[in-house]
Amino acid sequence: MEQLLGVKLGCLFALLALTLGCGLIPICFKWFQIEAAGGHHRRVLRLLGCISAGVFLGAGFMHMTAEALEEIESQIQKFIVQISK
């Protein structure tokens, strides 16, 4: 059991390090800096920003939709119980 906990903690820290590493890569390269961009390059960076914003919004809405559907289902069940009385 303790070995499984160690594996889980190791995976957790590995995932954290991988996420931080990949998230900080754009800071190290001048190509990703919007101030140094011009023309087509700037357009590509803006497109990448829009795509990443869409991913975050989609994930947030998906999370909220699942919770909303659960609440709607419970309200429908309450309504059916009230009607059947």
DSSP 52: H
**3-class SS at 85?**
coil
pLDDT per residue as tens digits for the range 37-70: 777 777 888 888 899 899 999 999 998 998 888 8
Q: Which residues contact 26 (CB under 8 A, 6 or more apart)?
A: 32
Q: What percent of the chain has pLDDT over 90?
A: 31
Reading the block at residue 12, the tokens are 């957790």
The domain locations on the chain are: 2-84
Checking if the pLDDT of 34 tops 70, the result is no
pTM of the model: 0.50
Question: Rounded to an integer, what distance in angstroms lies between the CA atom of residue 62 and that of residue 71?
Answer: 14
Task: Note the pLDDT of residue 57.
Answer: 93
Q: In this predicted structure, what is the pLDDT of residue 12?
A: 94
